[in-house]
């Protein structure tokens, strides 16, 4: 029997039989399905990636208005495209550590104010030009200069000066930042020849795949870069991204075998898809969270009792069950969860408590007029339903919520960050410092709760410069508790990223730091 098992393991590792077949035959040999799955994963890993084939993905988040300019990327398809043609200096690994890419070595001065990146040698751009530290410098300049419209402008703002020293690219910061390498892993910061100044949307980088066809909003075709510097990435010969924005069409394309993977599976159908033949679901928890945000400087939300009343009046478990169908975890009214390094697990979980809510509501002295919550289905999937659940549970605590449905078109410019109480979404950041600096520092542009606390700002800057991890963790814990108990954030849930994958696809890695293996699916997966 052992021989038979070994034989089957070898066959499945080489991709000669499917997962379903393997599990079935192992079952016949008396091996449980769970065990068989583990054995299969081992076998596949032992066999190593298989080269070749044409990998196709059906993806949401592509429009005819997209370009390949890394500075302009804001949705999934452009994000995947960047990962295909480009490389960043460093990346955030699935374990939440910094991994080297075009930088071979990262070092800092003891005060974390000056950072040096040793640039890899012998790397070539798709146009044949060799990569130099000057290209890195120019790229960073394009994303940080006065005229920049880059999505990474915010993370570049703390930089005082940049220069090239031999094969080193060096950055000097205005204030020390122990997390700078994480900022440099931002997906906008793909290194382009001469920084991409002359033609930012050319799609030329050092990445594993070379552009073949670029039809924004329709499809993007890429072929393997034969001169790619990293042998451990880029397994398939070609990659094709089909823009399929309609959820049902995406599922149909996966089930009829026209694509190998699809992103953003609707939690409502995830279980059904998992049961369908030839496909499976990969669900990764991450830092993305669905939120209701209050402006703490605007009546009536300026009363912390009212804020606490609303926080106690929301049923988090129920929302994870009904809105996410279990594909997610409960939030704790702070933007940080276990997906972040240095997360403090001991912060008590807040739960639904109508009595406490009623008590705080009474203490707030609110006049009992309806509190208007603005919501739209673009805020997050299921936002309207979530707001309705919130309305019901708040009603049970005697708090009158009135829902105002806003048009999805223009929601991010007219409602979010403008109106005092609305539904929204945060995709999260790789490290706590970046999340807090983006949305909770008093001077942050996207301070969408109008959180302005001197003590908090001071702790944030202190933690940023602190190289001692224990001390940093303590500071972050204090800041988290502060937001949780006094902030304007009601965070009912963190959503999972759900991806539908064909059984032909191997090499999946659970990655909590970003959607679909942090966008690295194209170069890390292979076809069995």
| CA–CA dist 253, 258 (Å, integer) | 5
177-196 residues near other proteins, rule: CB under 8 A? none
| 150 or 190: CB nearest other proteins | 150
Quick one: 213 exposed, middle or buried, by C-beta within 10 A (0-12, 13-18, 19+)? exposed
| Residues 285, 329 contacting (CB under 8 angstroms) | yes
Q: How far is the CB of 246 from other proteins (least distance, A)?
A: 5
- Binding of residue 520 to other proteins (CB under 8 A): no
First and final C-alpha spacing in the chain: 25
- Binding of residue 198 to other proteins (CB under 8 A): no
| CA–CA dist 463, 60 (Å, integer) | 37
Return the residue of 18, 148, 238, 419 that touches other proteins, per CB under 8 A.
148
Smallest CA-to-CA distance from 406 within 383, 435, 426 is with: 383
The number of angstroms, rounded, from the C-alpha of 254 to the middle of its chain's C-alpha atoms is: 23
Return the residue of 44, 82, 92, 259 that touches other proteins, per CB under 8 A.
259
Quick one: 369 exposed, middle or buried, by C-beta within 10 A (0-12, 13-18, 19+)? exposed
The count of other CB atoms within 10 Å of the CB of residue 248 is 10
33-62 residues near other proteins, rule: CB under 8 A? 58
Q: Residue 77 in 3-state DSSP?
A: helix
Return the residue of 244, 357, 460, 491 that touches other proteins, per CB under 8 A.
244
HSE, side-chain direction, 13 A CA sphere, residue 77: 27
Return the residue of 182, 380, 416, 494 that touches other proteins, per CB under 8 A.
416
**Choices 133-141, 250-258, 462-470, 479-487; region in contact with other proteins by CB under 8 A:** 250-258
Close Cβ partners of 394 (under 8 Å, ≥ 6 residues apart): 310, 313, 314, 357, 400, 401
Q: For residue 5, what are the CA distances in angstroms to 15, 29, 189, 486, 505?
A: 15, 8, 47, 58, 22
- Binding of residue 258 to other proteins (CB under 8 A): yes
| 69 or 457: CB nearest other proteins | 69
The number of angstroms, rounded, from the C-alpha of 298 to the middle of its chain's C-alpha atoms is: 31
- Binding of residue 212 to other proteins (CB under 8 A): no
The count of other CB atoms within 10 Å of the CB of residue 26 is 22
Binding residues for other proteins, how many (CB under 8 A)?
A: 46
- Binding of residue 114 to other proteins (CB under 8 A): no
**Choices 9-17, 251-259, 264-272, 345-353; region in contact with other proteins by CB under 8 A:** 251-259
Return the residue of 133, 203, 208, 216 that touches other proteins, per CB under 8 A.
216
Q: For residue 214, say if its preceding peptide bond is cis, omega within 30 degrees of 0.
A: no
Return the residue of 8, 31, 159, 253 that touches other proteins, per CB under 8 A.
253
Token pair 């410019």 in the structure block, residue: 413
Q: How far is the CB of 443 from other proteins (least distance, A)?
A: 12
| 243 or 375: CB nearest other proteins | 243
Return the residue of 396, 410, 458, 471 that touches other proteins, per CB under 8 A.
410
- Binding of residue 218 to other proteins (CB under 8 A): yes
- Binding of residue 249 to other proteins (CB under 8 A): yes
In sequence order, what are the beta bridge partners of 117?
A: 106, 169
| CA–CA dist 44, 14 (Å, integer) | 7
Q: How far is the CB of 460 from other proteins (least distance, A)?
A: 19
- Binding of residue 343 to other proteins (CB under 8 A): no
- Binding of residue 418 to other proteins (CB under 8 A): no
The contact set with other proteins (CB under 8 A) reads 58, 63-67, 69, 72, 74, 146-151, 153-154, 201, 213, 215-219, 242-246, 248-249, 252-253, 255-256, 258-259, 409-410, 412-414, 416, 425, 445-446
């Amino acid at each position: 029997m052992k021989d038979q098992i070994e034989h089957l393991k070898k066959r499945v590792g080489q991709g000669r039989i499917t997962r379903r077949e393997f599990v079935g035959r192992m079952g016949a040999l008396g091996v449980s399905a769970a065990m068989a799955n583990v054995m299969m994963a081992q076998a596949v890993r032992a066999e190593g990636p298989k080269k070749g084939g044409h990998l196709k993905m059906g993806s949401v988040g592509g429009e005819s208005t997209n370009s390949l300019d890394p500075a302009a990327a804001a949705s999934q398809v452009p994000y995947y495209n960047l990962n295909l043609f480009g490389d960043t200096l460093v990346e955030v690994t699935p374990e939440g550590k910094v991994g080297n890419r075009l930088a071979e070595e990262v070092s800092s001065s003891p005060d974390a104010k000056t950072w040096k990146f040793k640039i890899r040698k012998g790397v070539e751009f798709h146009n044949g030009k060799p990569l130099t530290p000057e290209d890195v410098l120019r790229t960073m300049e394009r994303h940080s200069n006065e005229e920049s419209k880059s999505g990474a402008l915010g993370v570049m703002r703390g930089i005082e000066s940049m220069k090239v020293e031999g094969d080193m690219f060096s950055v000097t910061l205005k204030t020390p930042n122990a997390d700078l390498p994480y900022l440099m892993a931002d997906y906008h910061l793909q290194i382009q020849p001469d920084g991409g100044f002359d033609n930012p949307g050319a799609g030329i980088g050092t990445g594993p795949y070379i552009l073949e066809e670029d039809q924004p909003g329709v499809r993007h075709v890429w072929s393997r870069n034969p001169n790619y510097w990293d042998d451990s990435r880029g397994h398939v010969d070609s990659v094709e991204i089909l823009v399929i924005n309609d959820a049902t069409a995406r599922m149909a394309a996966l089930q009829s075998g026209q694509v190998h993977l699809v992103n953003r599976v609707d939690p409502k159908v995830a279980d059904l898809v998992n049961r369908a033949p030839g496909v499976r679901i990969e669900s990764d928890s991450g830092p993305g969270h669905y939120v209701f945000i209050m402006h703490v400087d605007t009546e009536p939300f300026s009363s912390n009792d009212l804020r606490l009343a609303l926080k106690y009046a929301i049923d988090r478990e129920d929302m994870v069950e009904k809105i996410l169908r279990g594909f997610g975890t409960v939030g704790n009214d702070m933007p940080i969860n276990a997906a972040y390094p240095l997360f403090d697990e001991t912060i008590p979980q807040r739960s639904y408590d109508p009595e406490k809510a009623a008590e705080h509501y009474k203490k707030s002295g609110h006049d009992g007029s309806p509190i208007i919550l603005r919501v739209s289905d673009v805020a997050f999937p299921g936002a309207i339903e979530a707001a309705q659940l919130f309305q019901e549970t708040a009603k049970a605590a005697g708090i009158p919520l009135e829902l105002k449905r806003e048009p999805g078109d223009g929601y991010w410019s007219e409602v979010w960050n403008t109106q005092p109480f609305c539904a929204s979404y945060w995709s999260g950041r790789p490290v706590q410092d970046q999340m807090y600096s983006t949305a909770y520092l008093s001077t942050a542009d996207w301070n969408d709760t109008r959180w302005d606390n001197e003590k908090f700002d001071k702790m944030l800057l202190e933690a940023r410069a602190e190289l001692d991890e224990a001390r940093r963790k303590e500071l972050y814990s204090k800041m988290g508790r502060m937001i949780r108990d006094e902030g304007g954030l009601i965070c009912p849930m963190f959503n999972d990223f759900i991806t539908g994958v064909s059984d032909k696809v191997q090499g999946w890695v659970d990655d909590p730091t970003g959607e679909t293996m942090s966008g690295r699916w194209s170069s890390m997966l292979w076809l069995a």
